[in-house]
Amino acid sequence: MEEERRQILRMIEEGKISAEEGVRLLEALSADKSGSSRSGRKNGSTRSSQRSSGGFGADPFNIFRDAAGRAFQRRDRQPPFDKEKKMFQEWSDQASSFVDTAVKKVKEMDLDFNFGPYTEVSHTFELQHLSDKNIEFALENGSFEWKTWDMPGIKIDCRVKVYREESEDQASSRFLNDAEFGSEEGRLLFRTKSKAMKVEAVVYVPSKRYESIKWHTFNGHLKGESIDTDRFSAKASNGSLFFRDVQASRMFAETGNGPITLQGGSADLATLKTWNGSVMCRAEVKDLEVEVFNGSVTGILSYKEDAKAVIQAKTGNIDLELEPSARTDGHLETMTGTYHNDLAEVEILEEQKEFVQKSVRFMSRPTASPTLRLEALTKTGSITVKPKI
């Protein structure tokens, strides 16, 4: 088995297979070592069934999510290593091709929704006084930017490309019929329902604390600054997420294709997920979870009391800067990459340096306070942990 592992790594170095394919082959080797042949046949049958039923249907993002989900769960569902190398290589090629093709479809997909000629119109929605504590914005096709001001009301400036309309009057009428804006039972809602119009909106809201803020777009970017709320949720299927100075008890940000940036602010609980893109987090978070399928993670973390951070990356690197005077109880793990720990007063509790599995459990500054509990895991990337300057 050791020789087979070396051969797989040589194939990665020579470029004969991708890093992702190499990971799957190596994990299958591990599964064969621990699993019985009976359970292996069952898992192999399940995986084969999934490949035959999977197709590229109407919504490529669902295909991508399914493929990525299988990749994250494969640890418990890998087929065993078949000593007949030809059969195993065929399975590996098909499984790798399925995920790689799904990722490629998302990367290359034209999401400008080119429906032909369009007419551009502008419109402003306004309320003179905003008393609602809950805000919800949802766009099928478009981006919006959140800004705060000292006025008591809300204003939404919209620039809209309306496809298949020749006159401004027709385009404006169609947009107003499609858009929904209003207040009901303590919630302010702004929503568009058609992909055949692209909305670029700038939102001005009173600078105050809200109970909940919820954003969603299928195709577009979400950007906001000075966000002050108990619960904050931002989701995009295709687009970047950028937030500056977020003050939230709970925060959830997810995109299917695009980077996520959290610059400044604080949160009790923050979850950041992207399938294809990088994550940059520079904030004070008590409980942080980051999950990236295809991309890197950069974190500059602040914490004045005990905190927790779980960082997972499939193929990218993880680079973290931590409080230099705090204690860190950490676990770093990578399969084919390396790890570097530059924290002070490090005590190694447990370390594993196998050929295709590297991990370390450590404690830094054991008498210091507060304490960060850190989990940093990647498959093919490297991990760097160092003190903030």
- Average pLDDT rounded to a whole number, residues 327-347: 96
What is residue 9's predicted lDDT score, i.e. its pLDDT? 72
Using the predicted structure, report yes or no on whether residue 322 has a pLDDT greater than 70.
yes
Whether the per-residue pLDDT at 83 is higher than 60: the answer is no
Q: Which residue has the higher pLDDT, 281 or 85?
A: 281
**Residue 96: per-residue pLDDT:** 46
Which tokens is 263 given?
Answer: 């610059």
Q: Which two tokens stand for residue 20?
A: 């992702």
Confidence of residue 78 (pLDDT cuts 50, 70, 90): very low
pLDDT (average), residues 24-49 = 50
Q: Is the pLDDT of residue 190 over 50?
A: yes
Residue 163 pLDDT greater than 60, yes or no: yes
Classify residue 355 by its DSSP letter.
Answer: T
How many angstroms separate the CA atoms of 135 and 200, rounded?
Answer: 18
- Quote the pLDDT of residue 33: 54
Q: Is the pLDDT of residue 207 over 90?
A: yes
Mean pLDDT of 57-68: 44
Output helix, strand, coil percentages for the chain, rounded to the nearest 5: 25, 50, 25
Cα 255 to Cα 140: distance, rounded to the nearest angstrom: 14
Residue 380 near residue 13, CB atoms below 8 Å: no
What is the pLDDT, as a whole number, of residue 17?
65
Query: Phi and psi for 359 in degrees, rounded to 5?
Result: -155, 155
What's the gap between Cα 216 and its chain centre? 15
- Which stretch of 24-28, 175-179, 220-224 has the lowest confidence by average pLDDT? 24-28
Supply the pLDDT for residue 389: 87
Does the structure show a pLDDT above 50 at 48?
Answer: no
- Asked whether the predicted pLDDT for residue 233 surpasses 80, the reply is yes
Q: What mean pLDDT value characterizes the chain?
A: 83
351/339 Cα distance (integer angstroms): 11
CA distance 300 to 241: 18
Write the pLDDT tens digit of every residue in 288-307: 999 999 999 999 999 999 99
Which has the higher per-residue pLDDT, 117 or 268? 268
pLDDT of residue 354: 86
Provide the pLDDT for residue 224: 98
How close are the terminal C-alpha atoms of the chain, in Å?
A: 44
Mean pLDDT of 329-334: 98
- When pLDDT is averaged across residues 192-220 and rounded to a whole number, the result is 96
- Among 26-40, 156-170, 337-351, which is the least confidently predicted range? 26-40
Q: Select the more confidently predicted residue: 285 or 20.
A: 285
Looking at residue 272, its pLDDT comes to 99
Question: Is 360 a residue whose pLDDT tops 90?
Answer: yes
Q: What percent of the chain has pLDDT over 70?
A: 72
Q: How far apart are CA 344 and CA 318, in angstroms?
A: 19
Taking a C-beta distance cutoff of 8 angstroms, is the pair 220, 236 a contact?
A: yes
pLDDT in tens, 145-160: 999 999 999 999 999 9
